């Protein structure tokens, strides 16, 4: 390991055998954290080329179990987001796609830091469980076309160990390491189609569009080389997605979206990702046809019905889908009023996410308990006009004092100016795998 660290420190290329040896040894506990930390830091400075990134990803994928979904007929799809604020896309996308006949087999995570997680949102339904064993996971996909489970202990265990190490050694933010971490889990989860939502902007890992594009290209290239139909959509995180931020109010917004009343920016993301899946599954010839299919399955109520079936199949109380007033509400509703008049230029998503976390809606550590009922509803979004003393947002708090304390942070997240900003759009770019097998670029 000493020689490998030295080699990478000098900027030389690691071979496939060396990378596999290192990952296997680390998972078995034969390579200590301090040597792996040095390697991660060397990678941060020297980068990995495309071949090394692929070798790292495949070694991490092979470090544990890989799901075999081949007994389920047809092409199975999976979706992953790099993490955002107000991102409840999976709750709508999965039933939409499943109601159109494409099975969705998804592993999801909990929220960490200022970003939310699908598992926490689903747990707003009393009784809902994501702790499915492999048999139940497969059975639900076969019977109703959707299963969403928490990551099992033995799926890409190398990533679990490496991610925890990177988190405390300032080595998270490296393109190849992020790509390897995400794609090793997606490849092990066994779907044929992988669609990635790569966020860019102030609330995202990748603040700059160029970096988001590079990360998306890297992941699409890995997926394609590993034999999966892979595409990425780069979406805006310069403001939270939709109007609701916080677990139960996000679930309510998702159910409204399934009833045809979703916020425009949110529906653009659902539509862009859904269209990619439908095209990769060869169910739609182009975007126009795919978008039409998505609109129709929402309008007919088929997607909402599928969502209720899915909630019930995972032990949740599906009556909440039809009567959202049953979701637990935070006791206090505190309005955040604008101190000036003008157009909303941007809303710092990370600040809104942190405010939600401070209200008790997010966790600082993996094992912290969270309050599913708190959140922030954004009454105004980018491009809207606000008058002085008009509400910018409403804070839902279980503790009045904490809610009052967060008013300032929420107000300061808003930038207000005299002119209406140019509509920069929610979908920034689409990257697909066509022709990527020959890609020959280096990713640092
Ligand atoms: N999400 C992951 O799963 N891994 C990373 O490295 C970054 C985001």
**Rounded distance between C-alpha atoms, residue 184 and residue 167, angstroms:** 17
Q: Which DSSP string corresponds to 273-323?
A: HHHHHHHHTTS-SSHHHHHHHHHHHHHTSHHHHHHHHHHHHTT--THHHH-
Contacts of 237 (CB under 8 A, 6+ apart): 84, 85, 199, 200, 201, 202, 203, 204, 349
pLDDT in tens, 386-419: 999 999 999 999 999 999 999 999 999 999 999 9
- Report the atom number in ligand 1 closest to the C-alpha of 178: 6
| Residue 185 is among the residues annotated as catalytic for this protein | yes
With 0.75 as the threshold, say if the pTM is over it: yes
Lining residues, ligand 1, CB within 6 Å: 82, 163, 172, 177-178, 181-182
**Rounded distance between C-alpha atoms, residue 203 and residue 353, angstroms:** 8
Catalytic residue selected from 55, 62, 78, 159: 159
| Residue 265 is among the residues annotated as catalytic for this protein | no
**Rounded distance between C-alpha atoms, residue 210 and residue 98, angstroms:** 33
Q: Hey, which of 31-40, 102-111, 196-205 has the most confident mean pLDDT? A: 31-40
Q: Please say if the pLDDT value at position 12 is more than 80.
A: yes
Provide the pLDDT confidence category of residue 435 given band limits of 50, 70 and 90. Answer: very low
**Mean pLDDT value of segment 168-174:** 89
Taking alpha carbons only, the member of 248, 269, 226, 243 closest to residue 82 is 269
Out of 17-21, 80-84, 224-228, 377-381, pick the least confident: 80-84
Q: Which residue, by CA, sits nearest to atom 2 of ligand 1?
A: 182
| 189 CA distance to ligand 1 middle (Å) | 15
- Report the atom number in ligand 1 closest to the C-alpha of 163: 6
Q: Which of 163, 188, 222 to mutate to test the pocket of ligand 1 (most atoms within 8 A of CB)?
A: 163
Catalytic residue selected from 181, 248, 338, 373: 181
pLDDT in tens, 103-149: 999 988 777 677 778 999 999 999 999 888 889 999 999 999 999 98
| Residue 80 is among the residues annotated as catalytic for this protein | yes
| Residue 202 is among the residues annotated as catalytic for this protein | no
| Residue 181 is among the residues annotated as catalytic for this protein | yes
| 198 CA distance to ligand 1 middle (Å) | 11
Pair 398, 332: CB distance under 8 Å? yes
Q: Please say if the pLDDT value at position 438 is more than 60.
A: no
Chain centre to alpha carbon of residue 243: 17
Q: Which residue, by CA, sits nearest to atom 5 of ligand 1?
A: 178
């Amino acid at each position: 390991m000493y020689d490998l660290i030295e080699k990478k420190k000098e900027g030389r290329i690691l071979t496939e055998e060396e990378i596999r040896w290192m990952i296997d040894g680390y998972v078995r506990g034969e390579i200590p954290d301090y040597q792996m930390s040095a390697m991660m830091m060397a990678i941060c400075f020297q980068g990995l080329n495309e071949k090394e990134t692929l070798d790292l990803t495949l070694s991490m994928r092979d470090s544990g179990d890989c799901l075999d979904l081949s007994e389920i007929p047809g092409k199975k799809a999976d979706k992953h987001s790099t993490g955002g604020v107000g991102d409840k896309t999976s709750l709508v996308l999965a039933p939409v796609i499943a109601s159109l006949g494409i099975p969705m087999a998804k592993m999801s995570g909990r929220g960490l830091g200022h970003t939310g997680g699908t598992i926490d949102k689903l747990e707003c339904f009393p009784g809902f469980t994501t702790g499915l064993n492999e048999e139940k996971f497969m059975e639900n996909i076969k019977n109703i076309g959707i299963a969403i489970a928490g990551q099992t202990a033995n799926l890409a265990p190398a990533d679990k160990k490496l991610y925890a190490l990177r988190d405390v050694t300032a080595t998270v933010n490296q393109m190849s390491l992020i790509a390897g971490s995400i794609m090793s889990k997606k490849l092990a989860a066994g779907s044929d189609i992988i669609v990635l939502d790569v966020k860019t902007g102030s609330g995202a890992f990748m603040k700059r569009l160029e970096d988001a594009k590079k990360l998306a290209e890297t992941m699409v290239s890995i997926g394609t080389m590993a034999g999966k139909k892979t595409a990425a959509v780069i979406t805006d995180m310069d403001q939270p997605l939709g109007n609701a931020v916080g677990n139960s109010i996000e679930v309510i917004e998702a159910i409204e979206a399934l009833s045809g009343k979703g916020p425009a920016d949110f529906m653009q993301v659902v539509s862009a990702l859904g269209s990619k899946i439908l095209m990769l599954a060869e169910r739609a010839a182009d975007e126009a046809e795919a978008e039409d299919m998505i609109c129709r399955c929402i309008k007919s109520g088929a997607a909402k019905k599928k969502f209720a079936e899915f909630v019930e199949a995972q032990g949740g109380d599906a009556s909440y889908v039809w009567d959202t007033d049953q979701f637990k509400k935070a006791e206090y509703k505190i309005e955040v009023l604008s101190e000036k008049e003008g157009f909303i230029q941007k809303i710092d998503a990370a600040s809104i996410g942190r405010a939600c976390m401070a209200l008790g809606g997010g966790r600082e550590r993996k094992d912290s308990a969270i309050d599913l009922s708190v959140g922030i509803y954004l009454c105004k979004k980018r491009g809207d006009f606000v008058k002085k003393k008009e509400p910018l947002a409403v804070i839902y708090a279980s503790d009045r004092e904490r809610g009052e304390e967060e008013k300032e942070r929420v107000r300061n997240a808003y930038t207000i100016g005299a002119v209406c900003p140019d509509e920069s759009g929610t979908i920034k770019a689409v990257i697909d795998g066509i022709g990527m097998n020959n890609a020959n670029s280096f990713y640092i």
